[in-house]
Amino acid sequence: MTVSLKLDHCVIAVSDPERSDAFYRDVLGAEVIKLGAEYRVYRIGDRQLSVHTPGLANDPASAKFLIRALDPVRPGNSDLCFEWPGPITEAAAHLGKWNVPIEVGPRESFGAKGKGDSVYFRDPDGSLLEFIVYAAPAP
């Protein structure tokens, strides 16, 4: 039997929750959902980033959600890629609109759907983020 899995969510850690809320909401279009004083998630499409903040471990309202990895992710240690819905030039222009510097790109890359073009940038904590645009299939 073949199992067909889909990624549901992953975890990022942030050092300044309000700053990160604004970045992920404004630049990535995330819906910010607060589930306690310190626990929040960012919904992007049908995927979720669970957000660990500095005070999360001490927040009783968030305790029911918190199960940490053996070596929890630290702010700036994530590397995430998001599929951009249009041309890579529009992704670059979008980042420019929000004054987010492009670190690398546009350049050819390879993601879950194969070859594409990407731009790489960082969130406020230094995590590496990527927008990828996949090549149109041949007619």
* Strands laid side by side in the 128-134 sheet: 79-83, 128-134, 114-122, 104-111
The percent of the chain in helix, strand and coil, each rounded to the nearest 5, is 20, 35, 45
Q: Contact, 120 vs 103, CB < 8 A? A: yes
Per residue of the chain (139 residues), what is the pLDDT tens digit?
Answer: 788 878 888 989 899 999 999 999 999 999 999 987 778 999 999 999 989 888 776 666 666 666 666 567 788 888 999 999 999 999 999 999 999 999 999 999 999 999 999 999 999 999 999 999 998 665 5
Phi, psi of 119 (to 5 degrees): -125, 145
Phi, psi of 103 (to 5 degrees): -85, -40
Residue 77: per-residue pLDDT: 87
- Map out the domains of the chain with their CATH numbers: 9-65 (3.10.180.10), 79-134 (3.10.180.10)
Q: What is the DSSP string of 72-102?
A: ---TT--EEEEE-SS-HHHHHHHHHHTT---
Residue 19: per-residue pLDDT: 95
Residue 17: per-residue pLDDT: 92
Q: First-to-last CA distance in the chain?
A: 33
Residue 124: per-residue pLDDT: 95
